[in-house]
Amino acid sequence: MTLKLAVYSAKSYDRTYLDSVLASDHADLCSITYHPFPLSLETVPLAQGSTAVCAFVNDTLDAPVLRTLHSIGVRAILLRCAGFNNVDLPVAEELGLFVANVPSYSPEAVAEFTIALLQTLNRNIHRAYNRVREGNFNLEGFLGITLYGKTVGIIGVGRIGLALAKIVRGFGCRLIASDPKPGLSPEEFRDGYGGEFVDLDTLLKEADIVSLHCPLTRGTKHIISTENLGKMKRGALLVNTSRGSLVDTKAAIEALKSGQLGGLALDVYEEEGAWFYNDHSQEIIHDDTLMRLMTFPNALVCGHQAFFTREALTEIAATTLANLEDWLAQRPCKNSLVREGHLVVPEGKEPVRI
What is residue 143's three-state secondary structure? coil
Tell me, yes or no, if 339 is annotated catalytic: no
Kind of pairing, strands 76-79 and 52-55? parallel
Q: How far apart are the first and last CA of the chain?
A: 38
DSSP states of 2-60: -EEEEE-S--HHHHHHHHHHHHHH-TTSEEEEE-SSPPSTTTGGGGTT-SEEEE-TT--
Sequence-distant (≥ 6) Cβ neighbours of residue 301 within 8 angstroms: 266, 269, 290, 293, 294
Q: Which residues contact 278 (CB under 8 A, 6 or more apart)?
A: none
The catalytic position among 80, 93, 270, 272 is 272
User: Is 272 marked active-site?
Assistant: yes
Distance CA 45, CA 192 (A): 51
Closest CA to 47 of 4, 83, 11, 18: 4
From 80, 243, 315, 339, the catalytic residue: 243
Interhelix angle 107-123/125-133, rounded to 10 degrees, is 60
Q: If we measure between CA atoms, which residue out of 208, 153, 146, 159 comes closest to residue 178?
A: 153
What is residue 338's DSSP assignment? E
List C-alpha distances in Å: 107 to 57, 166, 261.
Answer: 17, 12, 27
- CB–CB of 268/305 below 8 Å? no
List, in order, residues 6 or more apart from 283 with CB less than 8 Å away. none
Catalytic residues: 243, 272
